[in-house]
Amino acid sequence: MALALALRQKGVASEIFEARERSAVRHDHRVLALSDGSRQILDWLGAWSGLPKTPIATIHVSQRGGFGRTVLQAAEINLPALGWVVAASDLIAALDDAVTKHGIAYRDNQSVSAADTAGFPLTAFAEGRIEPGAGSLRDYGQHAVLCNVEVADPHRNVAWERFTGDGPLALLPLGNRYSVVLTCADAVVEEVKALGDAPFLALLQQRFGSRHRFIAATPRVAYPLGLRYRPNPVAARQVWLGNAAQTLHPVAGQGFNLALRDIWELAVALAAAPDPGAPDVLASYARGRQADRRGAIGFTDLLILGFATEFAPLRHLRGAGLLALDLLPSLRAFVAKRMIFGARAWP
């Protein structure tokens, strides 16, 4: 839907084909951390105004059982917020309403495969997963357990990224609550999901520490985590973007923000193209996205692998890195801008 709206803004006609019922698409349990770069794109698409969102003023990054932490603040880089937290269902509804408003053709209950695309100038696969054998993969052996929690004290718009030996834990401010992304090993995820509220909150407290006291939780859902990506996101009159091009671990919240940058760049590339599926057009788009894709994929993968071990020397090295980041404002600002704007933040 976002791609169709972006193409419309650039004067390129498109149709949406969706495998599910249109109404079912709005039912999504996930919560998204959107960067300021994504805010700008969604505002341009007409899907930002009126969208329920909670600003992130501060991001606190730390590791359990080791020294070192870093704090990123919006005021340091002259932005109103480092990002905004939105319910995926709210964003999907806003995009769907905009698609309806502009009369973009939407054909639900129609699954499309690569074999079905003959006769189209260009087919963009913008949803779903990467088929087996179509790309590289890494199974992290983890699930993300998602829920919302109430805390005893106000969150003050602080987001937390806490690395532990059991996997990362993220707390994202959402309304007056926190949205939780708790990483668990595959072997224990069913056990964690089955916990009652009190033992689950105790587990969360143990993983997070004492900076917040958790007092209530919503029901939990879980998603498997892995890295999947297509080395080349284009083929003859076909392009893949979003989760169909790369599926990332949710650490640092890069996946959907990267997808929106894919959309922006593709819309710009097609706006000036007499033939949107021409090989040179698609090759140019792929080259232009290479640095941003590799950067986001490598960054998230390095975070997961680098923080996965409790080997003491490496834990101390990680702490030193977090401390150095906290002590160097220019480096801290660069990292923040790279996460917010992607490859455009490189000098």
- Examine residue 187 and state whether it is found in any structural domain, yes or no: yes
| Per-residue tens of pLDDT for the chain, all 347 residues | 999 999 999 999 999 999 999 999 988 888 999 998 899 999 999 999 999 999 999 988 887 766 567 888 888 888 889 899 999 999 999 999 999 999 999 999 998 887 788 889 999 999 877 777 777 778 889 999 999 999 999 999 999 988 888 888 999 999 999 999 999 999 999 999 999 999 999 999 999 999 999 999 999 999 998 889 999 999 999 999 998 999 988 877 788 999 999 999 999 999 989 999 999 999 999 999 999 999 888 878 877 776 665 545 555 455 555 555 555 566 556 666 566 666 554 43
* Residue 271, in any domain of the structure: no
In a domain, 163, yes or no: yes
- Among 158, 174, 167, 228, smallest CA distance to 203 is for 167
Domain count within the chain: 1
**What letter would DSSP give residue 178?**
E
215: in domain = yes
Task: Report yes or no on 194 lying in a domain.
Answer: yes
- What six digits make up the tokens of 70? 């870093």
CATH number at residue 168: 3.30.9.10
Closest CA to 3 of 69, 315, 15: 15
Residues contacting 300, CB < 8 A, separation 6+:
227, 248, 249, 251, 252, 254
Assigned domain for 10 exists: no
What is the residue whose two structure tokens read 């490189």? 346
Query: Which pLDDT score, from 0 to 100, does residue 252 have?
Result: 73
Q: What is the pLDDT of residue 318?
A: 54
Is the whole model's pTM more than 0.85, yes or no? yes
Asked whether residue 199 is domain-assigned, the answer is yes
In a domain, 174, yes or no: yes
Q: How many residues does the chain have?
A: 347
The edge-to-edge listing of strands for the beta sheet with 234-235 is 123-125, 238-240, 234-235
Q: Which domain holds residue 184?
A: 137-225
